[in-house]
Amino acid sequence: MSKLSDEINRRRTFAIISHPDAGKTTLTEKLLLYGGAIQQAGAVKGKAAARHAVSDWMELEKQRGISITSSVMQFEYDGYCINILDTPGHQDFSEDTYRTLMAADSAVMVIDAAKGIEPQTRKLFHICAMRHIPIFTFINKLDREARSPFDLMEELEKEFQIGTYPMNWPIGCGHDFKGIYDRGEKEILSYQQFHSGTEKISADHFSLQDKEMLDERIGSRLLSVLEEEIELVDGAGYDFDLEAIQQGLLSPVYFGSALNNFGVEQFLKSFLELTIPPLPRESGGVPKEPTDPDFSAFVFKIQANMNKAHRDRIAFFRICSGQFDREKEYWHVQGGKALRLPQPQQLMASDRAVIDHAYAGDIIGVFDPGIFHIGDTVCEKGMNVEYGGIPSFAPEHFALVERIDTMKRKQFEKGIMQIAQEGAIQIFHDPHSGMEEVYVGVVGNLQFEVLEYRLKTEYGVDIRRRPLPYELIRWLDVEESAIRSLNLTSDTKWVQDFKGNNLLLFTSGWCVDWAVNKNPGIVLRAVN
């Protein structure tokens, strides 16, 4: 194999998804710990003086104890080059999560052992299933009281119409959680330390034949239960099928406690062996292989002000094929011009290091002077490549936003435009008022709080926000003169986005129906 193929085949790029509070960011932190990317794990929640999770780099994330924006972390471990995409779990930030999933080749789904499948888990799973990417399940929080592992497996199979294969099996739960049984190695991993693990811990390994030692370590009752359950799992469960796993038809299931580091190292090693190298990506309906020597990549995320020392704007590229070279000139398809990708960076959340080369499967950050948009493609000059499939969503909540200090017009305009270009919010204006009053639309209400916080801390602008009654938005292709003569309800609002597209804001579905019925031939689109 060539050096290019070797480099690409050792890439593993995956997203970690879950419902809020299932332990997704904690698991991410522990994978970084066992992967050697950090020496001590931080806390997701806790006192102000505590170490915080590496992936939660935004100050508001540290204050609220939730992930607000996706983070990218790249590190080397055991011959693999790993790109982890830690995504927000809260539904108000699901737009960011959906876009980030487009950059992943597989997904790790984290489930709370006491709660099972929750609404956001369900939505995110279906996004992964649509792309037929491998889905690995980590059933977390066995250090607390938990549901029966059989019930959890059955729920996964019925809810998602997918097979499951437990790679390990829990021994007890809560205060009785003694460890896990590794089905592949046919051995018990027992843990003596039981604390919130900020450092690596090692498991003691026992064969099922070590009766005397196991009686002392886990107790005869739990040992007897384990032997009965393993016999049942071996006899009645799905067979191990690597091809089905890599096609997203069979989900390997791991039990553990990310908080206590139980089962994390075993999961990391097993996951890297079973998951896949970078997948082909479709351009114009034609698959483009990652080992194609011609470089191509697409933008799936834009983030301003990640690092207080830089205060710049970074475009996140998923490399789809070939090798990236720092000094080379590439073609920006949507911009229609040749360019170099300035200051290409390897990312560890908000930390970064300039690189000279990167390969298909890698996520790189590139300084963006304002020319890139989410979904843009960059490729070798002379190629005709354009990757699609980046989802966009119609906002569901609206507010009128204006600056309090009238002297800060430039800061306000810069801040709100940059945050809108990240895809976190959508902004509109009255065709007659310009930027004096800005209508902001979001998928989830928490985005308003993030907008207010970021404008104040990153751009020094305080805003006044007034909720609006609109619930629905529709794009329409009509000349301005024709819009003025449309027959609309009195509470329907005409606005424009900052590309000059015309839109209507409606307070209800009834108002949408009125617009369609009273204006023959009008075409309204829910998404631009």
Phi, psi of 32 (to 5 degrees): -65, -40
Question: Confidence band (pLDDT; 50, 70, 90) for 200?
Answer: confident
Q: Over 50: is that where the pLDDT of 50 sits?
A: no
pLDDT for 1: 57
pLDDT for 138: 97
Other beta carbons within 10 Å of 431: 14
Could you tell me if 117 and 78 are in contact, meaning their C-beta atoms sit under 8 angstroms apart? no
Lowest mean pLDDT among 307-316, 333-342, 378-387: 307-316
Q: What is the mean pLDDT of residues 413-425?
A: 85
**pLDDT tens for residues 324-374?**
999 899 999 999 999 998 889 887 766 778 999 999 999 999 998 889 988
Q: Are residues 256 and 366 in the same domain?
A: no
Assigned domain for 6 exists: no
Could you tell me if 144 and 172 are in contact, meaning their C-beta atoms sit under 8 angstroms apart? no
Q: What is the DSSP letter of 168?
A: E
Q: Over 80: is that where the pLDDT of 163 sits?
A: yes
pLDDT for 176: 86
Assigned domain for 427 exists: yes
Return the percentage of the chain with pLDDT > 70, whole number. Answer: 88
Asked which of 274, 293, 320 is the last residue of a domain, the reply is 274
Classify burial at 503, counting beta carbons within 10 Å of its beta carbon; exposed 0-12, middle 13-18, buried 19 or more.
buried
Lowest mean pLDDT among 93-97, 116-120, 335-339: 93-97
Task: Determine the Cα–Cα distance for residues 97 and 16; give it in Å rounded to an integer.
Answer: 10
Task: Determine the Cα–Cα distance for residues 135 and 415; give it in Å rounded to an integer.
Answer: 37
Assign residue 220 the CATH number of its domain: 3.40.50.300
Q: Are residues 348 and 425 in the same domain?
A: no
pLDDT for 196: 56
Q: Over 70: is that where the pLDDT of 462 sits?
A: yes
Assigned domain for 215 exists: yes
Asked which of 240, 257, 274 is the last residue of a domain, the reply is 274
Q: What is the mean pLDDT of residues 63-91?
A: 75
Task: Determine the Cα–Cα distance for residues 129 and 123; give it in Å rounded to an integer.
Answer: 10
Lowest mean pLDDT among 38-47, 283-292, 464-473: 38-47
Q: Are residues 319 and 250 in the same domain?
A: no
pLDDT for 461: 92
Assign residue 438 the CATH number of its domain: 3.30.70.3280
Q: Over 80: is that where the pLDDT of 40 sits?
A: no
Assign residue 355 the CATH number of its domain: 2.40.30.10
Q: Are residues 301 and 256 in the same domain?
A: no
Task: Determine the Cα–Cα distance for residues 197 and 206; give it in Å rounded to an integer.
Answer: 22
pLDDT for 46: 39
Could you tell me if 94 and 444 are in contact, meaning their C-beta atoms sit under 8 angstroms apart? yes
Classify burial at 394, counting beta carbons within 10 Å of its beta carbon; exposed 0-12, middle 13-18, buried 19 or more.
middle
Radius of gyration of the chain (CA): 25
Residues in contact with 308: Cβ distance below 8 Å, sequence separation at least 6, in sequence order: none
Asked which of 240, 274, 308 is the last residue of a domain, the reply is 274
Could you tell me if 423 and 390 are in contact, meaning their C-beta atoms sit under 8 angstroms apart? no
Residue for token digits 């404008």?
455
Assigned domain for 1 exists: no
74 vs 60, more confident: 74
Task: Determine the Cα–Cα distance for residues 435 and 200; give it in Å rounded to an integer.
Answer: 53
Nearest to 334 by CA among 281, 390, 290: 390
Q: Are residues 129 and 152 in the same domain?
A: yes
Question: Confidence band (pLDDT; 50, 70, 90) for 238?
Answer: very high
Q: Are residues 431 and 501 in the same domain?
A: yes
Residue 513, token pair as written in the block: 């129906």
Q: Which helix (H) or strand (E) holds 191?
A: none
pLDDT for 41: 54
Question: Domain range for residue 251?
Answer: 12-71+85-98+105-274
Assigned domain for 495 exists: yes
Task: Determine the Cα–Cα distance for residues 416 and 304; give it in Å rounded to an integer.
Answer: 11
> Is residue 180 classed as helix, strand or coil in its secondary structure?
strand
Q: Over 60: is that where the pLDDT of 60 sits?
A: no
Lowest mean pLDDT among 292-296, 384-388, 505-509: 384-388
Return the percentage of the chain with pLDDT > 90, whole number. Answer: 49
Q: Are residues 265 and 333 in the same domain?
A: no
The Cα-based distances of 171 to 165, 185, 235 in angstroms read 17, 16, 19
**DSSP track, 307-353:** STTT--EEEEEEEEESEEETT--EEETTTTEEE---S-EEEETTEEE
Q: Which amino acid is at 182?
A: D
Q: Are residues 216 and 295 in the same domain?
A: no
Q: Which helix (H) or strand (E) holds 220?
A: helix 220-236
Question: Confidence band (pLDDT; 50, 70, 90) for 44?
Answer: very low
Number of domains in the chain: 3
Could you tell me if 427 and 399 are in contact, meaning their C-beta atoms sit under 8 angstroms apart? no
Assigned domain for 321 exists: yes
Q: Are residues 366 and 479 in the same domain?
A: no
pLDDT for 166: 97
pLDDT for 39: 64
Could you tell me if 282 and 401 are in contact, meaning their C-beta atoms sit under 8 angstroms apart? no
Question: Chain-wide mean pLDDT for the chain?
Answer: 86
Q: Over 60: is that where the pLDDT of 53 sits?
A: no
Q: Are residues 133 and 185 in the same domain?
A: yes
pLDDT for 47: 38
Q: Per mean pLDDT, which of 126-140, 146-160, 423-437 is the most reliable?
A: 146-160
> Is residue 69 classed as helix, strand or coil in its secondary structure?
coil
Assigned domain for 177 exists: yes
Q: Are residues 26 and 133 in the same domain?
A: yes
Q: What is the pTM of this model?
A: 0.83
Q: Over 60: is that where the pLDDT of 102 sits?
A: yes
Other beta carbons within 10 Å of 270: 18
Q: Are residues 353 and 255 in the same domain?
A: no
pLDDT for 10: 96
Assigned domain for 51 exists: yes
